[in-house]
A and B are shown apart, each in its own frame.
Chain A
């Protein structure tokens, strides 16, 4: 992507560039908002349910990371600055594993990403498991934040989409406790603001993937971490995807590496970026090396043997 923004020299400008892509998803035209910054190894970042790319603002602005990584984030259809498809008013949004995967692969293709490291949180942490299992040839490595194989609903999800309850208020109310109690106030409220801005029914629609369609418990053992190396980082205060859920993955996926992040909750990159970086940066260095090794191996192996 390229572009110049004319500004007064005294104004601080972030290195993030935003553009809209027009992609065919589910056979329909979609206007998808995508951002990138930095140069180097592609790092494709996936936001949580009911939120958007702003969750990755710290990674997208980290000068050290931007020297080695091309950081890319996009808003799923219906989220952030990506529009729902034409005719949305006649449909109820529900995210499926198939649609989610299609969107990610379409963005990766559109941006010509070669063996990107895919980094996802929550629903993003779940879909990276699907990608590592079903499309290992496409990704150099995967990093799951708050990854679990399945979550049972623990409250009536209908509260998230009722015309007599303010959607933004209730969505923020539902997720507020998922933020670690000691996370900085400014980042706590920034994270909640993103939830307050979600469209009606979008968070609930994402949770269809999270609580039903995306169940991958029986299949995670088949993930080949030699083809797609995998790291898992989970906050200790997350009661949605719990440390025990991540431990289950760590114990059932040969070669997966996992760590519990002390004091943190469900939105590490957004709720406490400074602390999160101390966990992420060593993992990214490992992932970069593992990506090079796995990519070489893939190039040596004929497709038919994959």
Chain B
């Protein structure tokens, strides 16, 4: 619940206003799952833009890959000045704060894009 506005509103606005980021993701057509504790958000990308974000319960067939972490982890990640270990998706993977599941091809073939997409919801001035 505490991340609803950040994921449902801020993320969409920041990403879709960033023309360069959308251009970098122009070949991305997928939907991925962002899980915060047990709450799920389905984020659909079309040509680099966020087409929709829905909160609910989703079947595995509805998404390509899932990024699952606790509310505390995502909260630390989206801090303006994240502390070491929470500042990057690969850092969170290394320290097992984050799980990546499913078909990772869309993610890994556009890794910089997806990192910057999620960082977009961070406070102004932060980078991936």
Contact = CB atoms under 8 A, between A and B. Distances in A.
Interface in B99-120: 104-105, 108-112, 115
B91 A239 contact: yes
A176 B91 contact: no
A181 B89 contact: no
A38 to B, nearest CB: 33
Interface in A154-181: 154-155, 159, 164-166, 169-170, 172-174, 176-178, 181
A16 B91 CA distance: 35
B108 A154 contact: no
B81 A177 contact: no
Contacts of A181: 81-82, 87, 126-127
B35 interface: no
Contacts of A159: 104, 108
Contacts of A237: 84, 87, 91
Contact of B93 (A154, A166, A172, A185): A154
A176 B109 contact: no
Interface residues of A, number: 22
A239 B81 contact: no
Interface string A71-91: 000000000000000000000
Contacts of A154: 90, 93-94
B52 interface: no
B85 interface: yes
A174 B82 CA distance: 18
B85 A239 contact: yes
A166 B109 contact: yes
Nearest to B80: A181
B92 to A, nearest CB: 9
Nearest to B90: A177
Contacts of A240: 94
B91 A169 contact: no
Interface of B: 81-82, 84-85, 87-91, 93-95, 104-105, 108-112, 115, 126-128
Given A239-B84, A239-B90, 20 more contacts: A164-B109, A169-B110, A169-B112, A170-B111, A173-B108, A173-B110, A173-B115, A174-B90, A176-B88, A176-B112, A177-B89, A177-B91, A177-B115, A181-B81, A181-B127, A185-B127, A188-B127, A237-B84, A237-B91, A239-B94
Interface of A: 154-155, 159, 164-166, 169-170, 172-174, 176-178, 181-182, 185, 188, 236-237, 239-240
21 contacts: A155-B93, A159-B108, A164-B109, A165-B105, A169-B112, A170-B108, A170-B109, A170-B111, A173-B111, A173-B115, A174-B111, A176-B88, A176-B112, A176-B115, A177-B90, A177-B115, A188-B127, A239-B85, A239-B94, A239-B95, A240-B94
